[in-house]
Amino acid sequence: MTQPSPRGPAGTPPRTSLIKVVAASMLGTTVEWYDFFLYGVAAAIVLPHVFFPAADPVAGTLLSFGTFAIGFVARPLGGLVFGHYGDRLGRKKLLVVSLLMMGLSTFAIGLLPGYATIGVAAPALLVLLRLIQGFALGGEWGGAVLIVSEHGDARRRGFWASWPQAGAPAGQLLANGLLALLAVVQSEEAFDVWGWRIPFLLSAVLVLIGLYVRLSVEESPVFREAQAKAAERAAEGRATTPPIVEVLRRYPREVLTAMGARFAENVSYYIFTIVVSTYMKERFGLPSSFVLGAVLIGAAVHVVTIPLWGLVSDRIGRRPVYLLGAVGVGVWAFVFFALLDTQSFGLTVLAVVGGLVFHGAMYGPQAAFLSELFGTGVRYSGVSIGYQLASVAAGGLAPLISVALLASFGTGFAIAVYVAASSVLTLVAVASYRETRNRDLAADDGFGDDRARAQPDGATTTRS
């Protein structure tokens, strides 16, 4: 009897192989975002008085969010370093390194003494560990989405590549879930003294699970093919330029497009999931469990809707879905704060869920969209640079700007205007770029030399 071919149509990997890659990528991304978001939530509700007790409440929150922003500052550097070596050595190796760095630094935060014990050394060490977190996350995202995007099934690239994206709210779900549970079962005093450390220490277990799965995944076939071509060039004595140089030379518009596409997505996400905690606590004095519960429900919905939006982008294109999300978060921001001001738990849940559904319309197709902007040999560097540079100006500053606006105006309306302004920037960036859904990721290997240059439509011309 003839056995069925182990490969799918057009030479794509078998479905079980692709699912394994997606699962490994999503699990690792979930762990890394759990670590990163855990810090963000803790920065809003507990870190200010553990590490900055000498300051007044508003100043302490600003200082705490300042350390949160420092993690974003390190992300472009991480994206640059991991992108360079990821384009040279492969996606898999760098993903393992990033997971280890993130997990160890998060575990160390859980052991870090507070200001009352070691004084100014406490916030100094907190800043250092936060920098390591940001550096590691800067290299995580690009590799995680690329190893899925490059493994095949181009017709449903948006759907499959969106699963690592779903790792972000899954990590948020884990982080908020543990903190919410601890806030409920512990007294406020016990939670502030030692309970908040438990989720940080549990990161070690999650990292071990993530490593076990991630090490079982093979390198992407698209990258292996591009790497073989690069080896042929080297054997012929044809020099190749570093990936970052090639990105800036051949893809400057694509980098700016990626940054613009990220802006509203990044700003709105941290408003809907992080700033909401500070807003409800500072303005209305509501307990941490109130907001954590609402974000928990929102994150659960977000995990489901992100792949659905990715699937829709495979049917109608990346741009229409992304533009819908950008308009949605810009308008919903005003509804969001109006619902929060009711101090109703049900309406707060509606506010968060609605915001994250619109956010998912950007975040779902984002992985495929950004992957389709760059050639294989520089794709890790390109997506990481564009993604992480935007993170500094958008997500990194969003909590700081929001707290400052709230302190100045005393209302969420000012923050909503800020979200709407970021949406305009994203609309311009995405609407001005052509549709990318039908691009062949293997068509341009991205290893540039003096005889081949990419054209705007992704084709190449050869110069004599």
pLDDT of residue 95: 82
**Is the model's pLDDT at 7 over the cut of 50?**
no
Q: What is the DSSP letter of 55?
A: S
pLDDT band at 55 (very low <50, low <70, confident <90, very high): low
pLDDT band at 452 (very low <50, low <70, confident <90, very high): very low
Region 102-125: what's the mean pLDDT? 87
* Mean pLDDT comparison of 64-68, 164-168, 216-220, 390-394, highest-scoring range: 164-168
pLDDT of residue 342: 95
**Is the model's pLDDT at 401 over the cut of 80?**
yes
Distance CA 249, CA 309 (A): 33
* Mean pLDDT comparison of 59-63, 288-292, 434-438, highest-scoring range: 434-438
pLDDT averaged over every residue in the chain: 82
pLDDT of residue 45: 72
Decide: 158 and 437 in contact? Cβ < 8 Å.
yes
pLDDT of residue 52: 77
Distance CA 59, CA 460 (A): 54
Which residue did the predictor score with more confidence, 415 or 240? 415
- DSSP string covering 165-223: HHHHHHHHHHHHHHHHHHHHHS-HHHIIIIITHHHHHTHHHHHHHHHHHHTTPPPPHHH
Region 188-216: what's the mean pLDDT? 81
Angle between helices 157-185 and 15-45 (to 10 degrees): 40
Amino acid at 195: G
pLDDT of residue 453: 37
> Whole-prediction pTM value?
0.79
Cα dist from 313 to 73, 151, 306, 332, 437, whole Å:
31, 18, 11, 21, 8
Question: What are phi and psi for residue 449, nearest 5 degrees?
Answer: -145, -175
**Is the model's pLDDT at 451 over the cut of 70?**
no
Structure tokens at 21: 């890659």
Region 345-373: what's the mean pLDDT? 96
